[in-house]
């Protein structure tokens, strides 16, 4: 008998075809609306595999309902939406999509950095609003990127890919990482700093570490107060890493200069969120990996992980494996 896989969102036909060759596939048929919690709690009961997005909270409540779940394949590299410890206890393999999105996310991170530094969105709005009276010397002046100091917190795959872009702009790159990486320092020509020093010395601070309870609000009032007045904070990792109230105050009071945010504590970010009222914040709807090619690669890797595990093989990119 074919195993059953549930997909929490309508995906591409070729991916569904790939899965249907092996499994009985059930799916939430909406593309832009997440599966309701009660539907997920029901669907999970009798499936062998779950393919989900980062919008689904796969917690103890969901996992407790699962009677025969063997694998969860997350279509994202970050997996903070899944209780991996509880999954491990139940012997469920969890997979993610590392690597295939690295360069695309680094591109977007650098785009956000440039947009915030050079006031790209604000300037475009200024022009469209009809306020552009005449060219003037200090109009819409921003911060230089070339030659500036970039501090990366979380130097993993995407962090390293970001360094390559920064080096093309002659940036001085500092990093803080849980594990120091002397060989990478040598190879990429970058410098390790403790977090406090990195915050004090950087013109741009980019967050590229995974979110977990231990790093909740890693960047709060105190950390923001250490940053330069011309500094720009870029977050393409996870919203929970930043205390958004403290960031709002800091930006509003000119304690740091600008921010570029692809991620928020609550997504979609409420339209009346204070941060959205500030001209010195560039906001994006969590599109770090959103190129056509990369999203297809992520979907296929998630499907391939599912096929591999449910046909008795190793996961291609496991978060945890119990073999």
Asked if residues 291 and 147 have their Cβ atoms less than 8 Å apart, the reply is no
Which helix (DSSP H) or strand (DSSP E) does residue 245 occupy?
helix 244-252
Cβ-Cβ contacts under 8 Å for 294 (sequence gap 6 or more): 100, 101, 104
Pairing of strands 232-235, 258-261: parallel
Question: Which of 45, 60, 222, 267 is an active site residue?
Answer: 267
Among 105, 201, 294, 308, indicate the residue that binds ligand NAP (CB under 6 A).
Answer: 105
Question: Which of 238, 244, 295, 300 is an active site residue?
Answer: 238
Question: Which of 9, 165, 286, 300 is an active site residue?
Answer: 286
Nearest distance from residue 251's CB to ligand NAP, in Å?
A: 20
**Residue 98 binds to ligand NAP (criterion: CB under 6 A):** yes
| Three-state DSSP class for residue 299 | helix
Between CA 151 and CA 85 the distance in angstroms is: 31
Site for ligand GLV in 88-127 (CB under 6 A): 101
Measured from the CB atom, the residue of 14 and 267 that comes closer to ligand GLV is: 267
267 catalytic residue (yes or no): yes
Listed ranges 23-31, 38-46, 57-65, 99-107: which one lies at the site for ligand NAP (CB under 6 A): 99-107
**Residue 49 binds to ligand GLV (criterion: CB under 6 A):** no
Burial 148-177 (b: 16+ CB within 10 A, else e): bbbbbbbbbbbbbbbbebbeeeebbbbbbb
* Extended strands (E) in 8-66: 24-27, 49-52
Return the one option of ligand NAP, ligand GLV, none that residue 262 interacts with (CB less than 5 to 8 A, by type).
ligand NAP
Listed ranges 84-92, 141-149, 166-174, 206-214: which one lies at the site for ligand NAP (CB under 6 A): 206-214
Token pair listed for 59: 């917690």
**Residue 179 binds to ligand NAP (criterion: CB under 6 A):** yes
Phi, psi of 262 (to 5 degrees): -100, -10
Measured from the CB atom, the residue of 243 and 262 that comes closer to ligand GLV is: 262
Cα→Cα distances 240→2, 82, 183, 304, Å: 40, 15, 30, 30
Site for ligand NAP in 256-315 (CB under 6 A): 262-263, 286, 288-289
Site for ligand GLV in 278-297 (CB under 6 A): 288-289
Asked if residues 200 and 190 have their Cβ atoms less than 8 Å apart, the reply is no
Return the one option of ligand GLV, ligand NAP, none that residue 151 interacts with (CB less than 5 to 8 A, by type).
none
Token pair listed for 157: 């795959």
**Residue 151 binds to ligand NAP (criterion: CB under 6 A):** no
**Spacing of C-alpha 293 from chain mean position:** 17
Site for ligand GLV in 53-72 (CB under 6 A): 54
**Residue 78 binds to ligand NAP (criterion: CB under 6 A):** yes
**Residue 306 binds to ligand GLV (criterion: CB under 6 A):** no
Between CA 305 and CA 68 the distance in angstroms is: 18
Measured from the CB atom, the residue of 149 and 289 that comes closer to ligand NAP is: 289
Nearest distance from residue 82's CB to ligand NAP, in Å?
A: 12
**Residue 157 binds to ligand NAP (criterion: CB under 6 A):** yes
Q: What is the largest CA-CA distance in the chain?
A: 73
With tokens 């779950």, the residue in question is 50
Token pair listed for 321: 């494996």
Positions that interact with ligand GLV (CB under 6 A): 54, 76-78, 101, 288-289
Catalytic residue list: 238, 267, 286
Residues that bind ligand NAP (CB under 6 A): 77-78, 98, 101-102, 105, 154-159, 177-179, 208-211, 215, 236-238, 262-263, 286, 288-289
């Amino acid at each position: 008998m074919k195993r059953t896989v549930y997909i929490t969102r309508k995906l591409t036909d070729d991916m569904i075809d790939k899965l249907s060759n092996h499994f009985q596939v059930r799916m939430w048929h909406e593309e832009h609306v997440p599966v309701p919690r009660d539907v997920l709690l029901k669907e999970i009961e009798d499936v062998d595999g779950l393919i989900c997005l980062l919008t689904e909270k796969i917690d103890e409540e969901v996992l407790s309902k699962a009677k025969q779940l063997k694998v969860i394949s997350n279509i994202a590299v970050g997996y903070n939406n899944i209780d991996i410890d509880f999954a491990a206890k139940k012997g469920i393999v969890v997979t993610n999509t590392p690597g295939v999105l690295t360069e695309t996310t680094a591109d977007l991170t650098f785009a956000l950095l440039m947009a915030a530094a050079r006031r790209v969105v604000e300037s475009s709005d200024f022009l469209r609003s009809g306020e552009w009276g005449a060219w003037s010397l200090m109009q819409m002046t921003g911060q230089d990127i070339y030659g500036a100091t970039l501090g990366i917190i979380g130097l993993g795959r995407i962090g390293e890919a970001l360094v390559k872009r920064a080096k093309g702009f002659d940036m001085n790159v500092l990093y803080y990482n849980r594990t120091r990486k002397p060989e990478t320092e040598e190879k990429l020509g970058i410098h390790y700093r403790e977090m406090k020093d990195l915050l004090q010395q950087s013109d741009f601070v980019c967050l590229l570490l995974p979110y977990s309870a231990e790093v909740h609000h890693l960047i709060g009032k105190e950390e923001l107060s250490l940053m330069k007045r011309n500094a720009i904070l870029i977050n393409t990792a996870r919203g929970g890493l930043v205390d958004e109230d403290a960031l709002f105050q800091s930006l509003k009071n000119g304690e740091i200069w600008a921010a570029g945010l692809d991620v928020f504590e609550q997504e979609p970010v409420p339209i009346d969120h204070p941060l959205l009222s500030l001209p010195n914040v560039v906001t994006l709807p969590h599109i770090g990996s959103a190129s056509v090619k990369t999203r297809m690669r992520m979907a296929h890797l998630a499907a391939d992980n599912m096929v591999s595990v449910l046909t008795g093989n190793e996961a291609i990119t496991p978060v945890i494996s119990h073999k």
